[in-house]
Amino acid sequence: MAHYDTAVIGGGLLGCATAWHLARAGTRVLLVEKDQLNRHASGQNAGSLHFQLEYRMVEHGDAAARLAARALPLHLDAMRAWSTVEAELGEPCGVARHGGLMLAETPAQVAALDRKAALESRYGLPVDVVSGRDLRVLAPYLSTDVLAAGFAPGEGKANPRLVTPAYARAATRLGAEIRTGHRVTSLDRHAGRWRLGADGAVDTADTVVLAAGVWTTEVAAMADVRLPAFPVGLTMSATARTGPLLPHLIQHVGRRLSMKQTEDGNVLIGGGWPAKLVTRAGRVDLDVNPELRYESLAGNAAAARVVPAVCDLPVIRTWTGMTTLTPDQLPLLGAVPRRPGMYVATGGSAFTLGPTYARLLAEILLTGRAGLPVDDCSPERFGALNFA
Ligand SMILES: Cc1cc2nc3c(=O)[nH]c(=O)nc-3n(C[C@H](O)[C@H](O)[C@H](O)COP(=O)(O)OP(=O)(O)OC[C@H]3O[C@@H](n4cnc5c(N)ncnc54)[C@H](O)[C@@H]3O)c2cc1C
């Protein structure tokens, strides 16, 4: 049995980045991952760095959009954070930010774009609504069906295969201990310390970070805590490689779409097309990848028609993965009520926001407060679910 200042459960982006921040602050950190690092959402995602409000945040009306907008200070922070990630970690992470366009194809969608941009500007996020000749000059590859687009200069992409391993290596260099292939199966508080059991080994820590992605609810339950984080299945498609075609990140204000071209030339298409969660004995089995839905494949392909040149490219690969959403779409970020020394980070677009979530969580853990207002994201808002 060994004792640590902090045990981090989960070796995705949030776990590895939090471990790096904590190790950098000179604390003794253990990270435990049940599979390989970056095996799940953090390595399967689309790599979009999107700072504008996403379609899923505006599709349910203005009140829902206003609620989602409360996390915009985190988006702004992440926009700055991605500028220094590669230099801080000392490795390339495929960060390229040539701006992002959120498209509108109908007058109603143009109006939605205007409302969204007004909301974003209230929080200081610069999004210009571009149309007509300006749009054709900025993005000549777009279909003429596109009437307008919200342009955010800081948006772009990073390579999900590189980012988390880079954080893990940087954390290890600073002394963090990383154990893969060990599943935490028990978590309890004993004699003022957290005790976690994984594959026969028991370790203790003063504080524990739940960075377990879609397994967060399951891991929290080991400590008799209820955290409402729900798994969502998503679908991605990749086309064959082609020459430089798409410098921008593309999204749509009226339907599901995210599209970008990788450094190798493949076009990645996603944006929230669902995949079917697999159930066993009536319960979602989180250890099985979600099943492909034909409608999502067709939806992925149809959504791409806003860039006609993409429609000529063969799709060479599709995959599914799971991400976490909370009931109000804001993340769960901070101290867990009634469980001294327990912290959690999950929910939302945690690739884009991962460097920010991790830094803020480390600040909360080390100092009791974050450098940004994060009360809206605190697990405290679901405190009523926990009686004990
Ligand atoms: C298809 C897809 C596309 C996406 N596209 C984007 C995008 O373009 N931009 C964006 O911002 N976000 C995107 N996301 C969301 C983003 O990928 C996730 O929000 C983010 O990666 C979550 O990181 P994480 O570290 O919380 O979770 P994960 O990467 O899932 O890591 C959690 C880790 O915890 C481990 N774990 C769980 N339980 C235990 C246990 N008991 N013991 C030990 N280890 C445990 C798991 O094995 C896992 O490795 C996408 C997600 C998917 C699935």
Tell me the pLDDT tens digit for each residue of 118-154.
999 999 999 999 999 999 999 999 999 999 999 999 9
CATH number, domain at 99? 3.30.9.10
In a domain, 350, yes or no: yes
Q: How far is the CA of 331 from the centre of ligand 1 (A)?
A: 13
In a domain, 371, yes or no: yes
Note whether 139 and 190 are same-domain residues: no
In a domain, 368, yes or no: yes
Note whether 144 and 243 are same-domain residues: yes
Prediction pTM value: 0.97
Note whether 317 and 379 are same-domain residues: no
In a domain, 85, yes or no: no
Average pLDDT over residues 282-308: 91
Note whether 272 and 212 are same-domain residues: no
Res 299: pLDDT: 86
Distance separating alpha carbons of residues 210 and 165, to the nearest angstrom: 19
Q: How far is the CA of 217 from the centre of ligand 1 (A)?
A: 13
Average pLDDT over residues 238-244: 97
Percent of the chain scored above 70 by pLDDT? 100
Note whether 184 and 214 are same-domain residues: yes
Which of 285, 304, 325 corresponds to the end of one domain?
A: 325
In a domain, 18, yes or no: yes
Of ligand 1's atoms, which has the minimum distance to the CA of residue 48?
A: 8
- Measured from the Cβ of residue 305, the count of other Cβ atoms closer than 10 Å reads 13
Res 15: pLDDT: 98
Tell me the pLDDT tens digit for each residue of 75-125.
999 999 999 999 999 999 999 999 999 999 999 999 999 999 999 999 999
CATH number, domain at 347? 3.50.50.60
In a domain, 13, yes or no: yes
Res 273: pLDDT: 94
Identify the CA nearest to 103 among candidates 85, 116, 89, 88: 116
Res 300: pLDDT: 82
Full domain range(s) for residue 37 = 3-43+161-228+328-385
Which of 325, 354, 375 corresponds to the end of one domain?
A: 325
Q: Which of 18, 260, 351, 361 to mutate to test the pocket of ligand 1 (most atoms within 8 A of CB)?
A: 351
Q: Does any ligand 1 atom lie closer than 6 A to the CB of residue 237?
A: no
In a domain, 36, yes or no: yes
Q: Which residues, in sequence order, are CB contacts of 172 under 8 Å at separation 6+? A: 178
In a domain, 107, yes or no: yes
Confirm if 46 and 270 have CB atoms less than 8 A apart.
yes
Note whether 120 and 259 are same-domain residues: yes
Q: Does any ligand 1 atom lie closer than 6 A to the CB of residue 46?
A: yes
Q: Which residues, in sequence order, are CB contacts of 289 under 8 Å at separation 6+? A: 278, 320, 321, 322
Note whether 346 and 197 are same-domain residues: yes
Tell me the average pLDDT of the chain: 96
200 CB burial (10 A radius; 0-12, 13-18, 19+):
exposed
Tell me the pLDDT tens digit for each residue of 187-230.
999 999 999 999 888 999 999 999 999 999 999 999 999 999 99
Amino acid at residue number 169 = R
Note whether 239 and 288 are same-domain residues: yes
Note whether 306 and 349 are same-domain residues: no
Which of 307, 325, 343 corresponds to the end of one domain?
A: 325
Note whether 197 and 138 are same-domain residues: no
Q: Number of structural domains, the chain?
A: 2
Note whether 194 and 217 are same-domain residues: yes
Of ligand 1's atoms, which has the minimum distance to the CA of residue 346?
A: 26
Res 334: pLDDT: 98
Average pLDDT over residues 167-189: 98
Note whether 341 and 307 are same-domain residues: no
Res 194: pLDDT: 98
